[in-house]
Structure 1
Amino acid sequence: MRRDWDSRLFDTFNITLLMLFMVVILVPLWNVVISSFSSSRALAEGGFIFWPSELSLENYRAVFRDDSIGQSFFISVAKTVIGVVTHVFFCAMVGYGLSKSNVRGRKFYVTMGVITMFFSGGMIPTYLLIKSLGLLNSFWVYIIPALLSFYDVIILMNFFRNVPGSLEESAKIDGAGDWRVFLSIFIPLSMPAMATIAMFNGVSQWNDFMTTKLYVTNEALYPLQMKLYEIIVQSQTQSMQNIGGSVVIETATKGVQLATIVITTLPIVVIYPLLQRYFISGMMLGAVKE
């Protein structure tokens, strides 16, 4: 009886706490989304907007009025997809090699990799390196510098160590080489870890605009985030140039900003449920019976 009462009390407290946490997250999110569909007059009233008194798509029209938005969206999708695939595969290759204790110089490579996690060359040396590699105003400036993250390598390296050695030994007895073992055994079994890394790297790639701001001046290579950043800056500039700074202009600028937040967040919100099933643990249970 005591245990049942304690369990019910814990469940009640846990559910209440999670419900409050959910409300804290969903209420501001709902306010941002619904405010992006509000007219300038509704935004000018101020305060929290649960449902706008006047619906309008003018904020989204202002965002999509630029004909280059489609090209920017394609660049964002291309750099995110290619960047995630190459990043995860490259980190998996390095992690697979460093997970083997018989690799020569393994401790030296790991030490050098850990140092890069705490120290970097800085903005100017990095810019000079990118320039010397001929990556300025190139699509590959989004891909090549982001190929390796030693933090992700450590995650995959530790994950590979937990793969039963019997699987690799049995595959090599059947004549499989290192590439076959890596692609046919380690990659499928490490999908939860790789999906998690892909999710975080994909969010980083999708939201990144500093790379464009530093290394790209060709507007044809602007991703969606950079293009929307320019739209916000232009709308703020128009607001500042307006004589007297009317409330209508200011609220219109706020509406454009809210619309850009929704547009940039929506793809990640849609993709996340598709990858969530890979976040489960215990995928290797039952793979080997010893």
Structure 2
Amino acid sequence: MEAAETKKKKYKPKKRQFRLTTGDCVFNIINYTVFFIFTIICIFPFWYLFINTISDNQLVRVGAIKFIPQGIHFKNYMALKNVGDLGKSLIVSLSRTVIGTALMVMASALTGYLVTQKEMWKRSFWYRFIVITMYFNAGLIPWFLTMSMLGLTNNFMAYIIPSIVQPYNIILVKTYIESIPNELEESAKIDGAGYFTIFRKIIWPLCKPILATIAIFGAVGHWNSFTDSLMLMPNAPHLQTIQHKLYIYLQQSSNLAAIMKSSSGGAISSGMQAELLNAKTIKYTISTVTIIPIVMVYPFMQKYFEKGIMLGAVKG
């Protein structure tokens, strides 16, 4: 009976107790305080932008909204449907972000793997040729002329093709692959695997952390870019990105404010204030909407940063 009772009792290991010294407590307090303040500083601009889009428009005009929203409403978001072609520009931005980022990641991964293979013909030359392009830039006008001669004006592929090959990302992937033990590739070659099989089944899964990193950078770059849309899509409004539309709207709002002030001799009537107020809140609202999609990417990519460098083990 006693033996049966002892079996029923679960073994509970003793918890190890660590005593914190006064210096450790002071360090922890300072450390948490600094990180808390830094977090607030990073989050507050987004919070300030958001609360001004859902607060009473009159309070927004006089600058009364600082930390807490007042007179909450969502009319500003409903008014976005009056901004012309905003839905089409959103689809264009999403399309270029998804397609451009996916092609860039695949090209960077494959090129980074190929330049690590000693069997590659003129491997050092091609790698140096890729790297040297980082240090030379002809300028904006030659870039525009080149894009025009290639027929990439008023063409959606102008968003995709120039961004596929990114030398810096290739360098990151190459350096990462070189940190993977050679035994993994050698064991696969012994089993009869070819280069592309090794890349697909070994290199690609192990490179997820670095690929997630360059994917985030690429997605942010695609989503926030509007210079190429501004210069290359003058006659194709249906291909203009949402950032381009926001830029146009900001310019129109600024010009409207300047015209109203000049025509009224500096005195703005209540009707003019309402028009300017609407433009201001809509600018805040559009800015908030353009931020949301790219912010949603980070939670899904963050897990790859926490897995460490190696995701597998060396075959014995």
TM-score in same-fold range (> 0.5)? yes
Quote the offset at 1:56 in angstroms: 3.6
Quote the offset at 1:233 in angstroms: 2.2
| 2:13 paired residue number | none
From 144, 155, 163, give the equivalent of 1:146: 163
| 1:156 paired residue number | 173
Question: Which letter does structure 1 place at the counterpart of 2:184?
Answer: L
Quote the offset at 1:33 in angstroms: 0.7
| 1:233 paired residue number | 251
- What is the CA–CA distance in structure 1 between the aligned matches of 2:224 and 2:278, rounded to whole Å? 24
Quote the offset at 1:96 in angstroms: 0.7
Structure 1 residues 218-229: aligned runs within 5 Å: 218-229=236-247
1:52/1:280 CA distance change after superposition, 3 Å:
closer
The farther-off stretch of 119-128 and 50-59 is 50-59
Per-residue Cα deviation, 1:125-148 (whole angstroms, up to 9, x for no partner): 111211121111111100000011
Q: Secondary structure at the match of 1:163?
A: coil
The farther-off stretch of 199-208 and 100-109 is 100-109
1:248/1:52 CA distance change after superposition, 3 Å:
farther
Instruction: Check if 1:131 corresponds to 2:132.
Output: no
Instruction: Check if 1:96 corresponds to 2:122.
Output: no
Question: Which letter does structure 2 place at the counterpart of 1:105?
Answer: K
Question: Which letter does structure 2 place at the counterpart of 1:234?
Answer: Q
Structure 1: state its 5+ residue gaps: none
| 1:278 paired residue number | 304
Instruction: Check if 1:59 corresponds to 2:76.
Output: yes
Quote the offset at 1:53 in angstroms: 3.2
1:286/1:211 CA distance change after superposition, 3 Å:
closer
What root-mean-square deviation, in Å, do the aligned CA atoms of Structure 1 and Structure 2 show?
A: 2.1
Quote the offset at 1:250 in angstroms: 3.3
Instruction: Check if 1:181 corresponds to 2:207.
Output: no
Q: Secondary structure at the match of 1:55?
A: coil
Per-residue Cα deviation, 1:233-276 (whole angstroms, up to 9, x for no partner): 22333333324344443333321221121111101111210111
Instruction: Check if 1:268 corresponds to 2:286.
Output: no
1:282/1:49 CA distance change after superposition, 3 Å:
closer
| 2:9 paired residue number | none
- What is the CA–CA distance in structure 1 between the aligned matches of 2:77 and 2:180, rounded to whole Å? 49
From 57, 62, 87, give the equivalent of 1:45: 62
Question: When the two structures are aligned, how many residues end up with a matched partner?
Answer: 290
Question: Which letter does structure 1 place at the counterpart of 2:243?
Answer: Q
Q: Which one has the largest radius of gyration?
A: 2
| 1:111 paired residue number | 128
Instruction: Check if 1:258 corresponds to 2:276.
Output: no
| 2:189 paired residue number | 172
Is the contact made by 1:39 and 1:58 (CA closer than 8 Å) also made in structure 2?
no
1:37/1:48 CA distance change after superposition, 3 Å:
closer
From 100, 107, 117, give the equivalent of 1:83: 100
Q: Secondary structure at the match of 2:113?
A: helix
Higher relative contact order (CA 8 A, sep 6+): 1
Per-residue Cα deviation, 1:87-110 (whole angstroms, up to 9, x for no partner): 010111111111224433333223
Quote the offset at 1:285 in angstroms: 5.2
State the TM-score, normalized to the length of structure 2.
Answer: 0.85
- What is the CA–CA distance in structure 2 between the aligned matches of 1:45 and 1:73, rounded to whole Å? 31
- What is the CA–CA distance in structure 2 between the aligned matches of 1:114 and 1:21, rounded to whole Å? 36
- What is the CA–CA distance in structure 2 between the aligned matches of 1:286 and 1:90, rounded to whole Å? 23
1:2/1:56 CA distance change after superposition, 3 Å:
closer
The farther-off stretch of 14-23 and 81-90 is 14-23
